């Protein structure tokens, strides 16, 4: 195992790890003035890693612990770009509020490294280490405003519940290891294919699914999400809602498809149940929320439900639907949070629904962006959210025995539409309640960019994303 | 009775006695010292088993780091140990039930292992003629290098997190500055004042 094989396959991770350490040293030596340098460096490191992932070698390295295939490459490029956007938004925001510490970009790079390890995991140990690396960095990022009581509360809740979910995950992993005799996904699949899958493995698998459901904030393991989104600094929440969810979903898909390909009926029913509960909780919980960040948290719970519905179909088409859904959702949710970053009134963030009243007459640009993004997430054709749901429901309908689940999901997506429509009504038809501050350029660019992608750029984007997600879905090796 | 058996029984007896004293002595500092003693005797038992790497690990990690940390906590923080013991008699029955269950489980497991014979189910990959420290090293730095390095990165994140969340630069903290100290000369360090009789030096 010389440099040329294993290290080339893991080149994006090497770039990120060495880059993060280098930037840490640069930041430590430059001190207070280092934020701009380290942030710029981090964005460059992430873009290099994305290029290395896109052009790099594919294969299996480190005795099967690390897998680079179409699925990992696709998700890594998306994750690294989303992380770079998070650094861009966060750097400006932290500088504005006077908390420009260079650790922020370094931690985002390390979180991106953890996510890259998650989507490339081929072994239960690398799965766990990837999740821990990502989660630890995110806990710290949530508490980054350490003098803010809400941020500390959110970080503490996230940390304690995250530790609990790691415990569930490890317990499941130890059961799987005990009954299957290996931690490699391929070996677990081989052990499970001899005759029927043993009850011990299924038992462990259910725990593993519970642990992963925590990480993607699927109901009934969602209780941390609203509090964390509300308390975390807004750029961190934007990061939290996008890239880690994609990484955890791809990891979810990889464990189930590559480790338990012979137990599809067994895991499919668990995932379907989690998906339907998420859709319900997300739609109903969002109805009573006044805080937009909490609303987005419930929206993300519902949307993870749709992505899990694609996963539950257990087919290649379902995996493609999941990947497509997650990428389109990531862009929408980043745009949403960028809008929140752009909306300040007298130096205070406008985070409640009533504060948006009559926004279209005060800030037409941001209001129109928010409207387009809301319509997209509720699934109005031909916006990007419609296509995301279209892929999922197409996969669900074409899977035998999943017809009523698809109908159930559709019904609750209509119920969830209410809270997006209420937001639009507040912005367009209520009386304005006062001027807002001039939105910062960075947040405005990201918000308008995401809205422009939601429509009309999505039509061009789909032409590229469709073959890419199809190739990525094939890598999971399902029929 | 050969020497190994004598050593085993001696170490085991000391280990049990020390462990019992850890939870029963009144003085918390003594309690930590007995904990260190039990770690040392545990390490001795590992050496008897031929697992010298685990023995070293136990001494370095548990005695060197964990127990010393305990000692610091016990001595530096003003923990009221008397109030911690409050309700000892009330919770004793539950504690006895739990430890009784634990005891039954351990007896069952050791019975099963004794009946089966202590055979490992893991495929034997031991190389003869190499100490087990070297064997662990060989596996850790070849097959498990990816996990090993990634675990290091997790620790790096933990360290960055601890620093970000707790380090505060307070103004006005007096620190030693060697450059300032050596640059000090007679002009900056000494002031000659004329003291009038019966008046003293005014600041």
CA distance A291 to A150: 14
How wide is the angle at C-alpha A382 spanned by C-alphas A376 and A385, nearest 5°? 30
- Is A24–B161 a contact, with Cβ atoms under 8 angstroms apart? no
Whether B4 and B82 share a structural domain: yes
Same domain for B75 and B26 = yes
Nearest CA in chain A to B147: A126
Give chain A positions within 8 Å (CB) of B153.
17, 110, 113, 133
pLDDT at A416 over 80: yes
| Sheet strands (E) in A271-384 | 344-345, 348-349
- Residues B73, B8 share a domain: yes
Q: Largest Cα–Cα distance of chain B, in whole Å?
A: 97
Residue B155: both structure tokens together: 């620790």
B59 and B135, same domain (yes or no)? no
Contacts of B196 (CB under 8 A, 6+ apart): none
Work out the percent of chain A whose per-residue pLDDT is above 70: 99
The answer on B147 and B70 residing in a single domain is no
Q: Which residues of B touch A136 (CB under 8 A)?
A: 154, 157-158, 161
User: Got the DSSP string for A166-177?
Assistant: HHHHHHHHHHHH
Give the domain extent around B42.
1-86
pLDDT at B41: 94
Total domain count, chain B: 2
Claim to verify: residue B82 and residue B26 sit in the same structural domain:
yes
Task: Choose the mutation target among B125, B154, B162 for the interface with A, i.e. most A CBs under 10 Å.
Answer: B154
Do the Cβ atoms of B154 and A126 come within 8 Å? no
**CB-based contact A130 B160, cutoff 8 Å:** no
The answer to whether residues A314 and A423 touch, using CB atoms and an 8 Å cutoff, is no
Query: Cα(A146)–Cα(A233) distance, rounded to whole angstroms?
Result: 10
Residue B163 domain-assigned (yes or no) = yes
B72: distance to nearest CA of chain A, Å?
26
Q: B150 and A129: CB-CB below 8 Å?
A: yes
Domain's final residue, options B86, B113, B147: B86
- Nearest C-alpha of chain B: how many angstroms from A5? 14
Residues 6+ apart with CB under 8 A from B30: B21
Give the residue-averaged pLDDT of A91-103: 89
Best probe of the A interface among B161, B162, B167, by most A CBs < 10 A, is B161
Measure in Å the smallest separation between the Cα of B164 and chain A Cα atoms: 7
Q: Decide if A83 is inside a domain.
A: no
Domain-located, residue B6: yes
Asked if residue A444 belongs to a domain, the reply is yes
- For residue range A288-327, list pLDDT tens digits in order: 888 999 999 999 999 999 999 999 988 899 999 999 999 9
- Give the CATH number, domain containing residue B9: 1.20.120.1200
A333 pLDDT above the threshold of 80: yes
Tell me, yes or no, whether B78 and B29 share the same domain: yes
Whether B63 is in a domain gets the answer yes
Which of B146, B147, B160 faces A106 most closely, judged by CB atoms? B160
ipTM above 0.85, yes or no: yes
Q: Which residues of A touch B165 (CB under 8 A)?
A: 140, 143, 146
Is the residue at B22 inside a domain?
yes
Residue B5 and residue B75 share a domain: yes
Domain membership of residue B157 (yes or no) is yes
Give B-chain residues touching A21 at CB under 8 angstroms. Answer: 156
Report the residue of chain A nearest B122, measured CA to CA.
A181
C-alpha distance from A469 to closest chain B C-alpha (Å): 28
Please check whether residue B201 lies inside any domain of the structure: no
pLDDT over threshold 80, residue B82 = no
Q: Tell me if the pTM is above 0.90.
A: no
In a domain, B177, yes or no: no
Residue B37 pLDDT > 50, yes or no?
Answer: yes
Count other C-beta atoms under 10 Å from residue A108's C-beta: 29
- Rounded to an integer, the average pLDDT of A54-73 is 89
Nearest by CB to residue A129, choosing from B151, B156, B160, is: B151
Least confident of A70-74, B78-82, B160-164: B78-82
Does some domain include residue B200? no
Does A163 reach chain B within 8 Å, measured CB to CB?
no
Three-class SS of B35-84: HHHHHHHHHHHHHHHCCHHHHHHHHHHHHHHHHHHHHHHHHHCCCCHHHH
pLDDT at A5 over 80: no
* Token pair belonging to A454: 């939601």
| Domains contained in chain A, number | 1
Contact call for B157 and A146, based on CB within 8 A: no
Report the pLDDT value the prediction gives residue A434, as an integer from 0 to 100. Answer: 82
The confidence band for A379, taking pLDDT boundaries of 50, 70 and 90, is confident
Q: What is the pLDDT of residue B192?
A: 84
Rounded to the nearest angstrom, the minimum Cα separation between B175 and chain A is: 18
Q: Per the domain annotation, does A196 fall within a domain?
A: no
Given a cut of 60, whether residue A1 has pLDDT beyond it is no
Query: Quick check: A14 contacting B, CB < 8 Å?
Result: no
Domain limits for position A470? 262-479
CB neighbour class for B183 (10 Å; exposed up to 12, middle 13-18, buried from 19) = exposed
Taking an 8 Å cut-off on Cβ atoms, the answer to whether A133 and B161 are in contact is no
**Residue among B153, B154, B164 minimizing CB distance to A101:** B164
In a domain, A384, yes or no: yes
């Amino acid at each position: 195992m010389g440099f040329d094989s294993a290290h080339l396959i893991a080149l994006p991770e090497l770039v990120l790890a060495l880059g993060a350490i280098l930037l840490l040293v640069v930041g430590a030596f430059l001190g207070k003035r280092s934020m701009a340098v380290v942030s710029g460096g981090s964005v460059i490191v992430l873009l290099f890693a994305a290029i290395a992932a896109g052009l790099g070698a594919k294969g299996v390295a480190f005795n099967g612990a690390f897998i680079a295939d179409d699925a990992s490459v696709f998700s890594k490029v998306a994750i690294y770009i989303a992380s770079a956007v998070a650094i861009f938004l966060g750097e400006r925001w932290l500088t504005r509020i006077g908390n420009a510490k260079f650790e922020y970009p370094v931690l985002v790079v390390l979180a991106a490294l953890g996510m890259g390890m998650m989507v490339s995991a081929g072994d239960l140990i690398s799965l766990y280490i990837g999740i821990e690396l990502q989660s630890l960095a995110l806990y710290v990022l949530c508490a980054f405003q350490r003098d803010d009581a809400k941020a500390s509360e959110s970080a503490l809740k996230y940390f304690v519940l995250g530790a609990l979910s790691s415990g569930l995950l490890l317990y499941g992993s130890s059961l799987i290891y005990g009954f299957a005799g290996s931690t490699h996904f391929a070996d677990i699949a081989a052990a499970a294919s001899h005759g029927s899958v043993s009850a011990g493995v299924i038992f462990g698998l259910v725990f593993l699914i519970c642990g992963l459901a925590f990480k993607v904030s699927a109901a009934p393991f969602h209780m941390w999400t609203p509090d964390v989104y509300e308390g975390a600094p807004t750029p961190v929440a934007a990061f939290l809602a996008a890239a880690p969810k994609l990484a955890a979903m791809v990891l979810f898909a990889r464990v189930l498809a590559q480790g338990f390909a012979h137990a599809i009926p067994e895991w499919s029913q668990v995932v379907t149940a989690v998906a339907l509960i998420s859709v319900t909780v997300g739609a109903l919980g969002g109805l009573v929320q006044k805080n937009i960040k909490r609303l987005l948290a419930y929206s993300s719970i519902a949307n993870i439900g749709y992505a899990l519905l694609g996963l539950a179909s257990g087919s290649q088409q379902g995996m493609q639907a999941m990947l497509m859904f997650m990428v389109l959702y990531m862009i929408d949710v980043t745009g949403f949070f960028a809008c929140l970053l752009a909306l300040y009134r007298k130096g205070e963030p406008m985070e409640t629904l009533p504060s948006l009243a009559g926004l279209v007459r005060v800030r037409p640009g941001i209001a129109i962006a928010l409207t387009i993004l809301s319509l997209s997430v509720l699934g109005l054709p031909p916006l990007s959210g419609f296509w995301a749901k279209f892929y999922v429901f197409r996969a669900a309908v074409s899977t035998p025995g999943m017809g009523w689940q698809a109908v159930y999901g559709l019904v609750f997506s209509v119920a969830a539409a209410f809270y997006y429509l209420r937001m639009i009504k507040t912005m367009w038809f209520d009386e304005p309640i006062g001027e807002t501050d001039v939105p910062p350029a960075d947040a405005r660019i990201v918000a308008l960019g995401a809205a422009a992608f939601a429509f009309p750029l999505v039509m061009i984007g789909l032409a590229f994303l469709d073959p890419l997600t199809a190739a990525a879905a094939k890598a999971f090796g399902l029929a | 009775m050969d020497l190994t058996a004598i050593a085993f029984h001696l170490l085991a007896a000391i280990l049990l006695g020390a462990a019992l004293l850890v939870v029963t002595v009144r003085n918390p500092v003594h309690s930590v010292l007995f904990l260190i003693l039990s770690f040392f005797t545990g390490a001795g038992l590992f050496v008897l088993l031929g697992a010298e790497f685990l023995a070293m690990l136990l001494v370095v990690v548990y005695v060197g780091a964990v127990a010393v940390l305990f000692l610091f906590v016990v001595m530096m923080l003003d923990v009221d140990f008397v109030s911690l013991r409050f309700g000892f008699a009330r919770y004793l029955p539950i504690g006895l039930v739990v430890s009784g269950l634990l005891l039954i489980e351990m007896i069952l497991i050791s019975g099963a292992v004794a009946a089966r014979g202590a055979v490992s189910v893991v495929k034997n990959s031991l190389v003869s003629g190499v100490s087990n420290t070297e064997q662990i090293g060989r596996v850790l730095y070849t097959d498990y290098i990816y996990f090993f390095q990634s675990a290091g990165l997790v620790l790096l994140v933990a360290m960055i997190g601890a620093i970000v969340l707790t380090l505060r630069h307070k103004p006005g903290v007096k620190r030693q500055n060697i450059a300032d100290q050596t640059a000090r000369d007679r002009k900056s360090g000494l002031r000659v004042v004329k003291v009038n009789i019966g008046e003293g030096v005014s600041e």
